[in-house]
Amino acid sequence: MREYGLLGSNILDSDFSFEIKIKEGAGAFVCGEETALIGSIEGKRGMPRSRPPFPAIAGLFGSPTIINNVETLGTLPNILRNGPDWYTRFGKEGNRGTKTFSLVGKIRRPGLIEVQLGTTLREIIFDIGGGVQKPFKAIQTGGPSGGCLSEEFLDLTVDYESLASAGSIMGSGGLIVMDEDTCIVDLAKYFLDFTQKESCGKCVPCRVGTKHILEILQRITEGEGSPDDLLALRTLGDTIKKGALCGLGQTAPNPVLTTLRYFRNEYLEHIKDHTCRATVCKSLIEYRVIKEKCTGCQSCVRVCPTGAITGPRSEPHNLDASKCIKCRSCYEICRYDAIAGDAIVIRTAERQS
Amino acid sequence: MPEQIRRILGKHGRSPDELIPILQDVQAAFGYIGEESVKAISRYLRISENQIYGVSSFYAQFRFTEPGRHGIKVCLGTACHVRGGGTLLDMLERGLDIHCGETTEDKRYDLDRVACLGCCALSPVVQIDRDIYSRMTVNKLTELLKNYE
Amino acid sequence: MTKEKKVSITIDNRKVEAKAKTTILQAARDNNIDIPSLCALEHLPSYGACRLCVVEVDGIRGFPTSCTTPVEDGMVIRTDTAEVRTLRQEVLKLLLSEHPASCLFCEEQTDCKNFQGTIRKVGVTTGCRYCPNDDMCELQEVTKKVGLTETSYPVYYRNFPVEKEDPFYDRDYNLCLLCGRCVRVCNDVRLNGTLSFKQRGKMTTIGPAFGRSHLEAGCEFCGACVAVCPTGALSAKASKWSGKPDEVVESTCPYCPIGCTLDLKVKAGEVVDVSADYDSPTEHGLICVKGRFAIPEYVLSPDRLARPTILKPEGYDFLPWEEALDEAAAKLKAAGPKNTFVVVSPQLSNEDLFVAQRFAREVIGTEAILSSVIFDLGSDLRSFVDLVVMSEQIDTIEETKGILTIGLDTTYGFTPLGIAVKKAAKKGAILVTVSEHECNLDMLSEEAFQSDAAKWPEFMDGIMKSMSGNGTRKSKAAAPLFKKGDRNVVIIGPDAVFSGKRKEIFERVLAMRDNLGWKVIVCHPYTNLMGMLAMGALPGLKPGGLKSDGVLKLKDPAGVVDLKQNRKVGYFIGEAPSPEMPKCEYLIYENALPAPSGFDPNLILPAGLFTESPGTTISSEGKILTFNRASAPFAESKPDWWIISGIAARMKKGALKYSSLAAIQSEIKKSIPGFSGKERRVPRKKVVMEGKAAAAGNPFGPCRDAAAPAAFRGVPLHDHVAGMKAIEERRHK
C-alpha cells in the first residue's frame, strides 16, 4: 500500500496522513487484555494495569489510546459502504449486526460461521452445524473465559446479555459442542489448567486462587474429591471473580461455576461414586477385554502403544491393566465391542456405528 | 558483537518498544535467545540484561536453549482436547522419553504443547516443523515421526 | 507559597479533605483510616497486585484497589463493608497458602518460647518463629489487621533452595509474596535493574537473567530491596537474627565525602543494622553498599582495640590510660618539634581535626601535620583541592545537558551521584563515559570510551577541540557531542584521581571549567577533606582558611615540611602507616582497629568510632553534617579529641583543656565561618598555591593504586566486613 501512496504522509497528495505498524505478539493469552496488550507493544511483560487511568486517557506510551479487535475493525468498511441502516437490519435490539463464530467439537459440520446476533443455539448446532452424532451434552461459549451450557439452554439466543445471564460470555466467538464422550469435570479442569498457564501472575486471586481450583479439580478427577470441595470451588470462584485485577482472572472461574451449576450431578458422581460417566478420567476407568466377544483378530494388539494387550491369533486376548495408558486406540479399532472402559463398576461401553 | 546480531539490531530503532520485535528476529536467526544477544540488545536499547530476560521469559514464544532439529507442537486447544489431543501428547512423551517443553537427548526432537493452531475443525492437530497434520491418531503420528531425521 | 489543591471526598460516611493528586489509600491514611495493604509503599510507584486494599467506590464497578485509584472531588468510598472485609480475608488466605505461616494460627505460638533458642537453627523457615522477620513482619501485621484467625487452604511450599552465595543478604523465595516492591525499588528508584520478574503465572520468580548471581548481574548491594521486603524473604546476613531494634539514631556515613544520612538501628546498645532515609536532602536515601552494610561488622569487629597497649621487649602488654598518656607525652616531648610528625586521617571529624592541628602547632610546635592526601596526590594537590572545593552539588546533575565521566564506576560507591547521572541520561542528557573497563554507566551512555588511562588525556583533547569548532572528533560523529553554552558537567572518578595520568587529566578539567564553562564534580575517598581545609589540618594552612572573602591560600606541603625526613616519633591519629610516609622509631597508633600487618606500633591507644563519639564532618557540597552517638564507647576506647587533649595536658600545662565536645565546638564556631548560623554550610572559593612552587611529578614515587580497597581510618573494610571481600574481588574482575 505504501508503494502505491495509499499509506503514510499526505496520502494521494491530500492533507490526510495515516500510518499502520504491525507488531506480532509473542505468545501470551493475557495480552488480549487491553492494558496487557499495551504493555506488550511497549516492549514490557504483558501484565495488566489498574484502571483508572483508562487507556482512552492514558494508554500506549501514556497517550490517549483506542483499542479494538480486528473483527470490529473488519466490520467497519461494510458499515461505511452500506450505511448503518443496512447493518442494523441484522441482529436484535441492543445486539445489532452479525458475529463470527468458530463452531467446532463433536458436531457434524465444524467450521467458521457468521450469524445474526440473536440466533438460537439450537439453530446454530442442529441446523447450520448439522447436528451431533452422539447425544448432545453441552456447549461451551467464549473460550476459557466462558461457561458450559447444558441442554436446557438450547433455545437461548446468542447475544451478550443472554449469555451473561446464563453465566457465560460471548468472548471471541468460540462454540465448542460436546457429547456424552466429554467429561464435564475434565473439561473444567482443562480450562483452569489453561488459565493457570496463561495467568500473568501479578495479582493474588488469579495466580493463587486458580492454582487451588485446579488442585481441587485434579483431585476430583482422580477420585480423591470430597463433598466440601464443591463449596470450596464456589468460594474460590467468587473470590477470584471479585478480587482479580483483569478480565482473565475475573472470568477464569466461569467454566467451573457454570459446570457446577448445570452439571452438578456429574461432579457428585466423581466424588461420591468414583465414576466418570464419559469414561475420560483415567483414574476412574479401567479397560478390559470381554472374553466372550473377543475373536482374537489382533487388531488391538497391533495398535496398542505399550504392548498391554497380548494373545495369539484366534484366541481371546489379555489386557494387562498395569501397562494400559488408556489411550483409547484399542477401543476405537475393535469391531466386536470387545473392549470396555469403566469406573469401579464395570460396564460395557457402547459404540455407535 | 557478532556481525549477525549487529545486522539484526540495525534494522530496528533504539527505543524500548522495539524489544519484542528484536527478540523475535534473534530467535528466528539463531533458534533461541542467547546470552550474547541479550548483552548486545542491552547496550543497544539501554535496558538492563535482567529486564530483557524478564520480558522474554514472560512470553511462550521465546526459548533460551538451543532447539532440537525438529519441533513437535501438539495442539491442545479446546477442540483438539475434546477430540483426544491429550492422548497424543501422552504417547509422545512416553515414546520420546521426554516431558513437554524438553528436547530429546540426541537433539532430534523438541516437544511442546500449544494452545491453538487455529484448525479446530480438523482436530486433533499436530505441527512438526512447519507442517500441519490434522485428524491425527496415535498410529498415524508414530508413522509420521519416522520421516523426520 | 502555593497552597496544595484539595478535594472533598467521603470515606466511610465521613466527609474529609484530601490532596488533589493522591490515591484513595494515601488520602485514607492521611485521615487516620488505615486500609491494609502489602504491595503499596511510599516512594514506589503503585502496583495493585496484592488486592488487599480493595474498597467500594460509588460509580466504579467491582472492588477497585485504593492504592491505584486517584481521588476525585465528590468521591464516595467505603473501606469497611462486610463484603470488602470478606474479600480481604479470602485474598489473605490465598496469600498465606503460598507462605509458610504455621505459627500465625498456632495455639502454642507464645508458649513455645522454651524451644525458640534452637528453632531458628533449623535453617528452613516453616513459620514465624523460624523466620528472621518475626515480630517485624508486615504480613503478620496485615493478618492481625484483617482479623484472620484460621485458614483452610493447603500450603504450597515451593521448595526453592535458599540463596546464600551472594554477599550481604540471603534470599529465601519460599517466603516471597511476589509483591514486586523489590523489583520496583531496584528499577524505578535505584535505576539499577538487577531484579526482574521472570516467567509468568505461578512459575513467576524474581532475580537476575540466566540464573546469574547478584554479584555477576551488577547488583550494588545497596540493600534497598531488603528494606522494602514485607516478609523475611530478603534478610541481611549480619543482622538477620537481631530482632526488632530498640531505637533508631540518625547519623551520617563516614565512608566518603557525600555524607549520606544513615539511620543506625541499635539493639542492646549495639549498632546492628543501617537503613536509608529517603527524605534526606543530601542523597535522597540512595546510599551505597559501604554505608548500608559495612558499618556494624566494622564497629563490632572482634579485633576492636579495647585497652591501651604498649610494646615491651617481651611483647604487648596492657596499661591504664594514665600511664599510656604519660608515655605518649614523654616520648613526644623528648623527641622535640623537629623530630616528630603527626598523621591525621582525612576521615576524622571536624572536632578531632581541629584539636589535632592545635596539638601539632601549639603543643608540639610543628607544621608536620601529614595525611594520606598529601602523599597520594603529591604535586597535584593544588589542582585537586581546587577542583574539590569548587565541586558542584549532586542535585544539579539532573538539569545538565552533557555529562562526561572519567574513571568512574558507581556500583559500589558514590551511588547518589551515579543515579543522578542515570536520571539525567534517561531524560536526554548526552553521557560519555571514559574508563579502563566496562562501568555501570556505559549502558546509558552515548559513547563508552574504554582504554588504558594513558589515552584519556588525548580523548579529552578531542572533546574540547570539537566544542570550539575546530578539528574533528576521533569518531564517526560529525557533530560535536557536547555543545558550548549547554550546561555540561565533568565528573572525575577515583580511577582518574589515582591514575598515572592524573596531572594531565586535572589540567584538562581545569581548562574545561575555566575556559569552556563546564561544571566539575570530583569523587574521592577523603571523607572530610573539606573539614581538613576548614580546620587547617594541612602544613602551612591555618584554620579558617575557607573564609567568606578572598581565596583559599594553600601552601605546597613539600615546601613547608620535609616530607621525606624520617623522625623519631610518629603520632598516627585514626590512620595506618603506609610505605610513602616517613619512617619513625617510635610509633604511637591511635585507632579503633589494628593496623594492617607489617607495622608493630610501640604504643596503641584505642579510639572510639563515629557511632560512639559524636562530632561533625563537612560533605563535598560544603554541608556540615553530624555524627550522633548510637552506642557507648567500646571497652576502654576514648574519643580521639579526648586522647589528644590528655597528651597535651601532660606536655604543656593548661593546653587544650577540652572537657567536652561542646567546648571544642564553641571554639570552632568562633574561628571558622559557616559553623554558626542556620545555613550549616562552609563557603567555597578559588584555591591558589602560595609559596615555593611544587616540584614536577610526584616526589613520593608511584602514586596510590587506583584499585586500593575501600578503607576507613586506614583499615581496609574487607578485613572486617565479610561481604566486602567479594566486592573488592569483583571490582578487580
Please state whether the predicted TM-score (pTM) of the whole model is above 0.95.
Answer: no
Choose among C198, C200, C218: nearest Cβ to B53: C198
Choose among A42, A112, A329: nearest Cβ to B138: A329
Asked whether the predicted pLDDT for residue A60 surpasses 50, the reply is yes
A263: phi then psi, degrees, rounded to nearest 5: -135, 35
In the block, cell 552539588 appears at C393
Q: Name every chain A residue with its beta carbon within 8 A of the beta carbon of B16.
A: 42-44
3-state secondary structure C272-328: EEEEECCCCCCCCCCCCHHHHHCCHHHHCCCCCCCCCEEEECCEEEECCHHHHHHHH
Angstrom distances, CA of residue A94 to CA of A88, A121, A167, C54, C515: 10, 18, 19, 33, 74
The confidence score (pLDDT) of residue A340 equals 66
Asked whether the predicted pLDDT for residue C295 surpasses 90, the reply is yes
Task: Judge if the upstream peptide bond of residue A53 is cis by omega within 30 degrees of 0.
Answer: yes
The confidence score (pLDDT) of residue B79 equals 83
The confidence score (pLDDT) of residue A2 equals 83
Q: How close does chain B come to A338, measured CA to CA in Å?
A: 20
Q: pLDDT per residue over C589-632, tens digit each?
A: 999 999 887 789 999 999 999 999 999 999 999 899 999 999 99
Task: With cut-offs at 50, 70 and 90, classify the pLDDT of residue A319.
Answer: confident
- Cα B104 to its chain centre, rounded Å, is 14
Positions in chain B whose pLDDT score sits under 70: none
Between the CA atoms of A191, A194, A199 and A204, what dihedral angle is there, to the nearest 10 degrees? 50
Cβ within 8 Å of residue B6, ≥6 positions away: B40
Lowest-confidence segment of C233-237, C595-599, C605-609, C711-715 by average pLDDT:
C595-599
Based on the number of CB atoms within 10 Å of its own CB, is C720 exposed (0-12), middle (13-18) or buried (19 or more)? buried
Half-sphere exposure at residue B65, Cβ-oriented, CA atoms within 13 angstroms = 8
Q: Which three cell numbers stand for residue B71?
A: 519441533
Chains in contact with chain A (at least 3 beta-carbon pairs closer than 8 A) = B, C
Task: With cut-offs at 50, 70 and 90, classify the pLDDT of residue C680.
Answer: low
Q: Mutate which of C46, C55, C92, C94 to disrupt the A interface (most A C-beta within 10 Å)?
A: C94
Task: With cut-offs at 50, 70 and 90, classify the pLDDT of residue A327.
Answer: confident
Q: Is B48 close to C210, i.e. CB distance below 8 A? A: no
Q: Which three cell numbers stand for residue A35?
A: 492494558
Q: Is C94 close to A52, i.e. CB distance below 8 A? A: no
d(CA C387, CA A230): 75
Q: Mutate which of B120, B134, B136 to disrupt the A interface (most A C-beta within 10 Å)?
A: B120
A3: phi then psi, degrees, rounded to nearest 5: -60, -40
| pLDDT, averaged across chain C | 91
3-state secondary structure C577-619: CCCCCCCEEEEEEEECCCCCCCCCCCEEEEECCCCCCCEEEEC
Q: How close does chain C come to A322, measured CA to CA in Å?
A: 31
d(CA C82, CA A70): 42
Asked whether the predicted pLDDT for residue A321 surpasses 80, the reply is yes
- Domains of chain C are 6-80 (3.10.20.740), 109-236 (3.30.70.20), 309-371+528-715 (3.40.50.740), 384-526 (3.40.228.10)
- Give residue B145's identity as a one-letter amino acid code: L
In the block, cell 563546564 appears at C518
Q: Which three cell numbers stand for residue C201?
A: 503465572
- Give residue C250's identity as a one-letter amino acid code: E
Contact between residue A171 and residue A140 where contact means Cβ atoms under 8 Å apart: no
The confidence score (pLDDT) of residue A352 equals 28
Chains in contact with chain B (at least 3 beta-carbon pairs closer than 8 A) = A, C
Tell me the count of A-B CB pairs closer than 8 A.
96
Asked whether the predicted pLDDT for residue C478 surpasses 80, the reply is no
The confidence score (pLDDT) of residue A297 equals 83
Choose among C46, C62, C95: nearest Cβ to A208: C95
Angstrom distances, CA of residue C276 to CA of A271, C132, C622, C706, C720: 56, 20, 21, 28, 22
Q: How close does chain A come to C69, measured CA to CA in Å?
A: 6
Task: With cut-offs at 50, 70 and 90, classify the pLDDT of residue A353.
Answer: very low
Percent of chain C with pLDDT over 90: 75
Q: pLDDT per residue over C140-156, tens digit each?
A: 999 999 999 888 888 88
Q: How close does chain A come to C259, measured CA to CA in Å?
A: 37
Q: How close does chain C come to B66, measured CA to CA in Å?
A: 14
Q: Using DSSP, state whether C370 is helix, strand or coil.
A: strand
Task: Judge if the upstream peptide bond of residue B124 is cis by omega within 30 degrees of 0.
Answer: yes
Between the CA atoms of C416, C417, C420 and C421, what dihedral angle is there, to the nearest 10 degrees? -150
Nearest alpha carbon to residue C132 among C6, C233, C15: C233
Q: Is A26 close to B79, i.e. CB distance below 8 A? A: no
What integer is the mean pLDDT of A185-214?
95
- C59 in contact with A at a CB cutoff of 8 Å? no
| Nearest chain B residue to A28, by CA | B59
Q: Is C97 close to A201, i.e. CB distance below 8 A? A: no
Asked whether the predicted pLDDT for residue C286 surpasses 60, the reply is yes
- Give residue C316's identity as a one-letter amino acid code: Y
Q: pLDDT per residue over C552-568, tens digit each?
A: 888 888 889 988 899 99
Rounded to the nearest 10 degrees, what angle do helices B19-30 and B49-56 cross at?
80
Half-sphere exposure at residue A250, Cβ-oriented, CA atoms within 13 angstroms = 13
Q: How close does chain B come to C365, measured CA to CA in Å?
A: 58
Give, in degrees to the nearest 5, the angle at Cα C334 between C328 and C337. Answer: 95
The confidence score (pLDDT) of residue C671 equals 80
- Give residue C41's identity as a one-letter amino acid code: L
Q: Is B58 close to A200, i.e. CB distance below 8 A? A: yes
Contact between residue C679 and residue C252 where contact means Cβ atoms under 8 Å apart: no
| Nearest chain B residue to C206, by CA | B54
The confidence score (pLDDT) of residue A292 equals 81
| Nearest chain B residue to C440, by CA | B48
Choose among A201, A235, A239: nearest Cβ to C200: A201
Nearest alpha carbon to residue C59 among C15, C22, C10, C92: C10
Task: With cut-offs at 50, 70 and 90, classify the pLDDT of residue A349.
Answer: very low
Task: With cut-offs at 50, 70 and 90, classify the pLDDT of residue C702.
Answer: low
Nearest alpha carbon to residue A270 among A187, A210, A195, A211: A187
Asked whether the predicted pLDDT for residue A200 surpasses 70, the reply is yes
Tell me, what DSSP letter sits at residue C25?
A: H
Task: With cut-offs at 50, 70 and 90, classify the pLDDT of residue A351.
Answer: very low
- C197 in contact with B at a CB cutoff of 8 Å? yes
d(CA C498, CA A132): 84
Task: With cut-offs at 50, 70 and 90, classify the pLDDT of residue C233.
Answer: very high
What integer is the mean pLDDT of C297-326?
96
For chain C, helix, strand, coil in percent to 5 are 30, 20, 50
What integer is the mean pLDDT of C325-349?
96
| Nearest chain B residue to A183, by CA | B82
d(CA C340, CA C569): 5
Choose among C198, C218, C444: nearest Cβ to B54: C198
Asked whether the predicted pLDDT for residue C694 surpasses 90, the reply is no
Contact between residue C94 and residue C154 where contact means Cβ atoms under 8 Å apart: no
The confidence score (pLDDT) of residue A348 equals 31
Contact between residue C585 and residue C591 where contact means Cβ atoms under 8 Å apart: no
Asked whether the predicted pLDDT for residue C476 surpasses 70, the reply is no
d(CA C201, CA C196): 14
Q: Name every chain B residue with its beta carbon within 8 A of the beta carbon of A111.
A: 121
What is the ipTM score, two decimals? 0.91
> Which residues of B fall below an 8 Å CB-CB distance to A?
16-21, 23-24, 45, 54-56, 58-62, 78-79, 81-84, 87, 90-91, 94-95, 115, 120-121, 123, 137-139, 142
Q: Using DSSP, state whether C251 is helix, strand or coil.
A: strand
Q: Which of the pair, C697 or C707, is modelled with greater confidence?
A: C707
Q: Which three cell numbers stand for residue C196?
A: 526482574
Q: Mutate which of B14, B35, B50 to disrupt the C interface (most C C-beta within 10 Å)?
A: B50
Contact between residue C264 and residue C693 where contact means Cβ atoms under 8 Å apart: no
| Nearest chain C residue to B16, by CA | C426
